Structure 1
Amino acid sequence: MLVAGITTAAQSAEIMRCSHQLPPDNHIAKIIDQWAAEIETLSENAIDVQVNGANSLVKAPRNAAAVRAGEIECAFTMNSRWAESLPLMDVTLDPFALRNVEILKKWNGSRAAKILEQEVAETGLTNVAWLFTTWRTAITSKGRFLTKPSDFKNIRIQGLGPISNAAFEAMGATPVDMSDMAAYKALEKGELDAGLTNISAALSARYYDVQDHVTILPLFTIYYNGYVNSEWFDKLPEKSRQAIREASGKAALWAIEASEISAAAAPKLLKDEGMKVHIATEPEIEKLKAIMRPAFSRAFLAATGADGEELIDLLEDM
C-alpha cells in the first residue's frame, strides 16, 4: 500500500521539463537546479521539475519555440539569443552601462523588468525568473591583450547578436555570433581570434585551453531569463503557480550572490590555468566606451525605437 501510494503521488505530479544550454559546472546551471528543487519543495511535490542542461533536451536556438509549442514546459535563454525576435532584451548589453551589482539587485520586479516580461508574454510565454550571471566580461585572446580600440581592428571575435556586435564593428572587428561551446571549437581551429563571454564562463567553458590572454572589464551584463508555456502555467493550481513565483524570486538573489562569488574567484583561477590576466583600467575603459556605446545605442534604438529609449532611461534611473 505504501508503494502504491508513492506511485500514485508521483503519477499525479505535474511534469515541468526545463531546458537550458549551460554545462553542469556553471554556477547558473547549479542555481537552476536549486530553483527546481525549491519549486518541488514549495509545491509539496505537486510539480516534478526535470532540468535538462547542456542542450541535452532542446538546442538553445529552439528553446523558446519548443516551450511555445508545448513540446516542453520551461526553458532558460541567454538574453542575446532574443536579439532578433525581442531586441529590447539586449538592453543590458549597453557597453559599460551596468557597472554596479546593486542595480542588479533592484532588477526583479522593476519597471524595466516588467516591460520585458510583457514583451515575452506577447509571444505566448510567461517569464518567471531573471538569473544574472555577472557584470564582468572576459575578452580572451592569444599572444596579447585586447585593451584599446585599435587592438580590435581586423579581429574575428565571438559575437552576441547584431545589436551588441555593432559596438565591436565600430572598432573594426568582425563579430561572429556563437555560443561559448561553439566559440571554444572555433578558437581551437583558428576560425576566431578572440572570445567574448562573462568571466565565470571563461572558466567553466575552458577558454584557457585555447587562449592565453584575457582582459576583464565591466563591458556588459548577461542574464538567463526563465519562462514557461503560458497556457500550461495558467492551468496550474494557484498554489503551484505561487511556488514557481516564490522560488524564482529567491533564485534571482541566489544567482547574483553566486555570480559575485564566481566572478571574484575567476581571475586567480584563470591565472592558475596559465592565462595572463589584465584588469582594464579606467582610461582604457573610457576610450573603449567612447566608441562602443554610441554605436550600440544607434543599433539598439534603430531596432527598438521609443520603447528602447524608455528602457535605457529606466536603467539609468536605477
Structure 2
Amino acid sequence: MFRGNAMHRRHLLLATAAGLAAPALARAQAPAVTMRLSHQYPPSHQHAGILAAFAERVKAKSQGAIDVQVFPAEQLARAGENFPAVARGAFEAAAAVNFQWGNTLPEMNVLTLPYLFTGLERIKKFPGSPVAQHLEGLLQKRAVRNLMWLYTTRRAIFTSGRKPVVTTDDFKGLKIRGLNALTDHALTAVGAAPSSMPGPEVPQALQSGVLDAGLTDVSAAVSRRFYEFQKFGTVTNWFCVFTHVYVNPRWFDRLSDAHRAIIVAEAQQAERDQIPVTEEVAAKALEELRARGMTVHEQTPAEEAAWSAAMQKPVVDAFLRLAPDNGARAIELLRAL
C-alpha cells in the first residue's frame, strides 16, 4: 500500500512538473522579436524574393527568436502610408523607392538625377558609402532608421508607337509618362509634355492615346506588356533607383545587441545579393522585349552624351532649389563615388 501511494505521488509530481514546463517551453520557443515589414512589390518581383530570403536567414540565424513577417503588394499598408506608420510604431519596417519621398525628403532624389549615377561599379559602392550615410542621417531626422539599400534599376526604356525616340528632337510634342515633378524637367527641356501617373495606369493610357510614349524600367516594360501596344523602345542608363528598407528606431534600439547584429548582417547580405539579381533581370527583360516583337535600340555613347547635355542640368537646378541645405552636398558625395 505504501509503495503504491509513493508511486502515485511520483506520477503526480511528474505530471505537475510537465504541466508547468509546457507553458515555459512554449514561451522559450515563441519568437522573442517580431519585425513586420511592409512593401509594395508583388511576390514575383525580385525585391520580394530578396526580402523573403532575408526573413528566412534572420529566423535561421536567430534560431527562431526573430520572426520577420514580410507583407508584399501593399497587404499591410499602402506605399504612401508606410513612412508615417513606421515612424509612429504601428509596425516595425517598410520599404520605399528613393524618389517616393518627394518633397518630404527631396535629397533622396539625388540618386535619380538623369545620367548622374548609372555606372554599375559605382552603384556597388553605394551601400555604406559617405553619400549613403549622408542620406541615412537625414532619414534619422524623420524618425526612421535606414536598414538596407536594394539596387532596383539603372536602365530606363523610352517606348513609342509611331517612331523611335532616338534624338532629343524626337521628344518634341510627345505626350509622355513622367516619373515625378522633379525628373519631368528633363522631359520638358527637350520639348515633351510629361504626365506623371502610377505605373499600373500607364498601359491603358498608352493604348487609349492619352500618352504617346512611355518611360519605365526595362523589367516593368515586360511585366506590364508594353510590347503589345508600343512598337519601339530606346534603352538608356538614364537614372538610378534604389529601394531602401527602414525601421522604427525606438524598436530597433530596444533589441539586444545580438539580435541587432543578426538583422544588420543579413541586411548587408541582401544588399550584395540584389545587385547581380537586378542586372540579370534587366538583361532577360531586353531579350524578352525583342522576342515579343519590340524594336529595341540601345543608346550609343554619343546619343547618351547628347541626351545628358540637354536633360541633366534642368533637373539638377530644380533639385538644388528643392533641397537648398543638403542637396549640393549629396551631389558632391555621389560624384565622389
Structure 1 length normalisation: TM-score?
A: 0.92
Question: In 2, are the aligned partners of 1:26 and 1:201 still within 8 Å (CA)?
Answer: no
Instruction: Quote the residue 1:237 is aligned against.
Output: 256
Q: CA deviation at 1:263?
A: 1.5
Question: In 2, are the aligned partners of 1:215 and 1:279 still within 8 Å (CA)?
Answer: yes
Change (3 A) 1:50 1:176: farther
The 5 Å alignment of 1:266-281 reads 266-281=285-300
Instruction: Quote the residue 1:223 is aligned against.
Output: 242
Unaligned segments of structure 2, at least 5 residues: 1-17
Change (3 A) 1:262 1:93: same
CA shift digits 1:158-200 (9 cap, x unpaired): 2222221111121222333333223234334433332222222
Instruction: Quote the residue 1:95 is aligned against.
Output: 114
Q: Please, which moves more after superposition, 204-213 or 191-200?
A: 204-213
Change (3 A) 1:48 1:210: farther
Structure 2 length normalisation: TM-score?
A: 0.88
1:122 aligns with 2:141: yes
Instruction: Quote the residue 1:176 is aligned against.
Output: 195
Return the match for 1:166 from 185, 188, 209.
185
Give the Cα separation in 2 of the matches to 1:43 and 1:239: 9
Give the Cα separation in 2 of the matches to 1:312 and 1:45: 42
Q: CA deviation at 1:306?
A: 4.8
CA shift digits 1:128-165 (9 cap, x unpaired): 00001121112222232222222222323222222211
For the aligned residues, what is the CA RMSD? 2.1
Change (3 A) 1:143 1:29: farther
Q: CA deviation at 1:111?
A: 0.5
Matched residue SS, 2:194: strand
Question: In 1, are the aligned partners of 2:31 and 2:67 still within 8 Å (CA)?
Answer: no
Give the Cα separation in 1 of the matches to 2:58 and 2:64: 8
Instruction: Quote the residue 1:203 is aligned against.
Output: 222
Instruction: Quote the residue 2:271 is aligned against.
Output: 252
Q: Please, which moves more after superposition, 6-15 or 236-245?
A: 6-15
CA shift digits 1:37-60 (9 cap, x unpaired): 222223322221111112222111
1:133 aligns with 2:156: no
Question: In 2, are the aligned partners of 1:202 and 1:208 still within 8 Å (CA)?
Answer: yes
Give the Cα separation in 1 of the matches to 2:29 and 2:165: 54
- Counterpart code for 2:123: L
Q: CA deviation at 1:270?
A: 1.2
Instruction: Quote the residue 1:112 is aligned against.
Output: 131
Give the Cα separation in 1 of the matches to 2:91 and 2:228: 35
How many residue pairs align between the two structures? 318
Instruction: Quote the residue 1:60 is aligned against.
Output: 79
Give the Cα separation in 2 of the matches to 1:206 and 1:161: 22
Instruction: Quote the residue 1:26 is aligned against.
Output: 45
